Amino acid sequence: MDWTWFHKFGSPPHVYRLAGTLTPWFAWPAGILIIAALYGGLVLAPPDYQQGDGFRIIYVHAPSAWLSTMVYAVMASAAAVGLIWRMKVAHAVAASCAGVGASFTAASLVTGMLWGEPMWGTWWVWDPRLVAQLVLLFLFLGYIGLRSAIDDLGRADRASAVLAIVGVVNLPIIRYSVEWWNSIHQTPSVMKMDRPSMPMDMLAPLLMMLLGFTLFFVAVLLVRLRAEVLRRERGAAWVKEVVS
């Protein structure tokens, strides 16, 4: 048992209960927003003048890609807090992020490939965004691998925290190098989402989806955090009470 947690930022049971209380406040709006955005994106929005209905995958692809980076940033920030202020609950947050982040990254890769097939006629093109997402997936997998390879929880927390911080420093450099590499080799890219001309009936569902995915991430993070706290505190008296 570690009591520094108590001294500093509230007890594990407190975190457990707080996360439980907060979960519905994120889960319900996330569900409503995502359903509304799906209706708006798949039914109400007109087909794209170039891509037809194929563009509609953007409503899953773009939020996944956006969240994959955001989750890495959240994970690295939580890891840094855990490392610097020795806050165990922050390490638990970082640990809970990794799987979600890897899933979002994988989702963005798969949807990117699905999008690519009708556009380029092939499942994989060395598009800089896809390559960057692939490297990000490896970073997540490395983080998960390091965590699972170290038996001692405290060591695993701190070593993986160092890795997450190293990764977050490198991420912009990797992105830049991949863009630079692409500018030389001139691969085709249709995944430009910075078109200023996107009409409002296409854009509004996308923004709703971004917000919906973000809230969904927070809800999932809270649920996973509860599980993580229980796992770490197994054997403690309060866990036995909660479980029974």
Q: Which residues in this chain contact another protein in the complex, by CB under 8 A?
A: 2-4, 83, 135, 138-139, 141-142, 145-146, 149-150, 152, 154-155, 158-159, 162-163, 165-167, 169-170, 173-174, 176-178, 180-181, 184
Report the alpha-carbon distance of residue 161 to residue 156 in Å, rounded.
8
Residue showing tokens 């995915």: 213
Written as one letter, the residue type at 165 is: I
Minimum distance, C-beta of residue 14 to another protein, in the bound complex (Å): 19
| 141 or 207: CB nearest another protein | 141
> Could you write out the DSSP letters of every residue in 96-157?
HHHHHHHHHHHHHHHHHHHHHHHHHSSS----HHHHHHHHHHHHHHHHHHHHHH--SHHHHH
Q: What CA–CA distance (Å, rounded) separates 194 from 214? A: 20
Nearer to another protein, 56 or 232 (CB): 232
Structure tokens at 168: 């977050």
Q: Which is nearer to another protein, 10 or 154 (CB)?
A: 154
Q: State in angstroms the smallest separation of the CB of 30 from another protein.
A: 30
Nearer to another protein, 136 or 222 (CB): 136
Q: How far is the CB of 176 from another protein (least distance, A)?
A: 7
Closer by beta carbon to another protein, 152 or else 241: 152
For residue 36, the one-letter residue type is A
Q: Tell me the closest approach of the beta carbon of residue 81 to another protein, in angstroms.
A: 15
Cβ closest to another protein, residue 25 vs residue 176:
176
**CA 30, 31, 37 angle in degrees (round to 5)?**
85
Minimum CB separation of residue 170 from another protein in Å reads: 5
Residue number, 38 or 159, with CB nearest to another protein = 159
The H or E element containing residue 185 is helix 153-185
146: number of Cβ within 10 Å:
16
Least Å distance, CB 26 to another protein, is 31
Q: How far apart are CA 221 and CA 237, in angstroms?
A: 24
The two tokens of residue 208 are: 């709703």
Give the whole-angstrom CA distance, residue 56 versus residue 48: 8
Q: How far is the CB of 189 from another protein (least distance, A)?
A: 17
Judge contact between 97 and 75, C-beta under 8 A: yes
